Amino acid sequence: MTTIQDIDKSLDEFLGTIRAWDEKSSDLRDAAIDALADDVRNHYDLPIASINSMLAKIDNGMKELQVIRAKFASRRSARAKINELPEDILRLIFGHCGRTEVRTDNGSLFSGFAGTASPGPRLHPAFPVSWTCSYWRKISLDHSGMWAHVNLASFSQRMVEELFKRAKEHPLVIHCHIPSHGQSERAFDLASELLPLKMSRVKELSLDIRISGKQLAATPLTCPAPLIEQLHFGLSTQTLHNVLPYALFKGEAPKLRHLTLDGIRMPWNIGFYRNLSTLIIRNFDRHATSLRDSDICCVIQDSPRLEILEIRSGSSITQQTQQTQPSDPSTMVSRTSCPRVELKHLSTLTLVIPVQIVHHLLSSIAANHITSLTISLEGGVMDSNAHLVAPLFHPDILPRSALSGMKQLIVHAHGSLPIGTYLWATETLQTGFMPSLNQRHCRVEWRDSSSQPVYIATLRQVASNVLAHRKIEHIERLVLSSDCDADDHPCAIYTHLPSLSSVAIDRAVVPSAIGQLCSSNAGTPATGERSTITELTIRHCAVTSEQLDALIVWCSRRREPLRKLVFTAVAFKIASRSAIEAIVRGFDNIAQLDVVWGWGCEFYCSDDSQTYQLQRKPLSRKRYEVVHSPDLT
């Protein structure tokens, strides 16, 4: 049986014969010196004809070898692990590949298809997959869904049209982000031309237009979309006065379930938000038209099967709320005469709107399975609206049954409000010897507050109402960040909340907070239990050597060890370099404590007027080394 090695040996022998014949033919002489030139040339005709015949045979042999090589390459590819997968699994993998983009540095290779929306040409990932081998090409061309994910802003019109052609009748997923710079005009024109023609095939559409003042000439939102299930539509938020004057897709979108509007909204009328399971409205201008209790009811009445509801007003809310909100919101809060809209499936609720309207919505719905509730209170002055914050969680506003399965609760105020409060409750499942053990955690953060009595009183009411909903056993994180009065220190809230596991303090709070933490029972609940803090973060402040010594003593004497101590952007005032080394050794000698001297930490020594930093030495028993700070000048 002839093997490929035998063929290779015969080829070597053939090449050797050719070389020997070439050397012998070099001795060929003219038959007669005095013969005519034509007679001399005749001596070369026969060898040339023979060589041409051999070249033809070699050319045919090369083609046969190429065919044989392709067969071997095909057999090799077939033995690849990925090709051992069933064809339906490969189709699934290729379908996921079709949802991403590939950028190539070889512009000439794909110059016929590459778009101009980005510095480097982009190629739809289905193309290189289909070029890998004949087997993959067959699967790719038969898999219309692989070509159905199209980004209009990334590809040229020729490539987009080819993708539509190869997708055949498969539902389309179209993305188009049109920025306010770059090749935005090209993408805008392409979207204006092609989208209206394809809306009958679109399943998901994400259209984000950031060109100020632009509107689609033939907007796809006016075309019927019988297959569409998900729509994200965003416009430039520079004006915040974008209101769609018509229903989406002329009301002919029976499968639409997920709707996100960014910088634009529809009228607050019944019939515009039908049958949705996800409704997200962001960056709308509430003052373009009024937003009343009845407006909110129209939205939620349209979609009784809502699972996710998010309403975030635009940035102009904060600036205009004080002029538009009535000083007495009592008439807005009371809804005893109005029936609640039942939202049996609502699980995630996010509201970033003025506190009065939060009351409207919470008192307008009946929900039983909220697992994530985020409330961000905008506008107004907290001192005048503080009485509205805590009652948000009163059973008369939000029934206890609504939060029976709650895993996350976030309440905070920002913008023009002088108070910032985070209350975050989470539920985690621990595994091990007790896999069914549920621990409920609560997180409280405090941002700059100019009215601490109002803050503490409000926080106590919020905590009390939340604890009435469910038993919160553990404070996961407490962040204190504010200037404080000695008579009403924010650390006083320690005694009004459950046990703590993590505390972060910064700026002017640090000196007195360290003093309270280092006292005998600081950081423990009112029941007098032992301290449960496992992580302490100190940041953006100045700390003296006396305070560091107090921390060392506190950490070393704790019955429950502190696991982690983090310093970030702290200026330490120390007497000498040797004192720095002594402090570092003091922390290193505390068992089970991980001390992190993070970014921006510097030690100012009074004896030599020098500035030092700690340099980490991961391979040394001495974890940190004291070094001079680099010359920043």
Q: For 346-368, what is the mean pLDDT?
A: 79
Do 44 and 166 belong to one domain?
A: no
Cα–Cα dist 486/467, whole Å: 29
Q: What secondary structure letter does DSSP report for 152?
A: T
Do 301 and 185 belong to one domain?
A: yes
pLDDT in tens, 588-602: 899 889 999 988 899
Asked if 575 and 546 touch (Cβ cutoff 8 Å), the reply is no
Do 40 and 169 belong to one domain?
A: no
Nearest residue to 561 via CA among 594, 522, 538: 594
Do 154 and 301 belong to one domain?
A: yes
**In a domain? residue 157:** yes
Number of other CB atoms surrounding residue 159 within 10 Å: 22
Per-residue H/E/C for 454-513: HHHHHHHHHHHHHHHHCCCCEEEEEEEECCCECCECHHHHHHHCCCECEEEEEHHHHHHH
pLDDT at 122: 66
448 contact partners, CB below 8 Å, separation of at least 6: 418, 420, 481, 482
pLDDT in tens, 462-479: 656 655 555 455 555 565
Tokens 């407490």 appear where? 478
Asked if 344 and 381 touch (Cβ cutoff 8 Å), the reply is no
**In a domain? residue 400:** no
Range of the domain at 13: 1-79
pLDDT at 292: 60
Cα–Cα dist 264/232, whole Å: 11
pLDDT-derived band at 294 (thresholds 50, 70, 90) equals: low
Do 266 and 155 belong to one domain?
A: yes
Question: Amino acid letter at 133?
Answer: C
Cα–Cα dist 517/524, whole Å: 9
Asked if 90 and 139 touch (Cβ cutoff 8 Å), the reply is yes
Do 153 and 233 belong to one domain?
A: yes
Cα–Cα dist 63/68, whole Å: 9
Do 50 and 178 belong to one domain?
A: no
Tokens 């009445």 appear where? 301
**In a domain? residue 338:** no
Q: For 387-401, what is the mean pLDDT?
A: 62
Do 25 and 174 belong to one domain?
A: no
Residue 536 β-bridge partners = 503, 565
pLDDT at 327: 34
**In a domain? residue 406:** no
Q: Could you tell me the two tokens for 325?
A: 């909100």
**In a domain? residue 93:** no
**In a domain? residue 111:** no
Cα–Cα dist 67/217, whole Å: 54
pTM above 0.75, yes or no: no
Do 182 and 282 belong to one domain?
A: yes
pLDDT in tens, 246-269: 778 888 889 999 999 888 777 777
Cα–Cα dist 300/312, whole Å: 15
Cα–Cα dist 21/587, whole Å: 88
**Domain-ending residue, one of 273, 291, 306:** 306
Q: What secondary structure letter does DSSP report for 217?
A: T
Give 429 or 511, the one with higher predicted confidence: 511
The β-bridge relationship of strands 611-616 and 624-628 is antiparallel
Percent of the chain surpassing pLDDT 70: 59
Do 176 and 266 belong to one domain?
A: yes
Give 217 or 67, the one with higher predicted confidence: 67
pLDDT at 387: 60
**In a domain? residue 548:** yes
**Domain-ending residue, one of 261, 285, 306:** 306
**In a domain? residue 403:** no
**Domain-ending residue, one of 248, 281, 306:** 306
User: Domains in the chain: how many in total?
Assistant: 3
3-state SS assignment for residue 239: coil
Do 509 and 617 belong to one domain?
A: yes
pLDDT surpassing 50 at residue 169: yes
Asked if 248 and 221 touch (Cβ cutoff 8 Å), the reply is yes
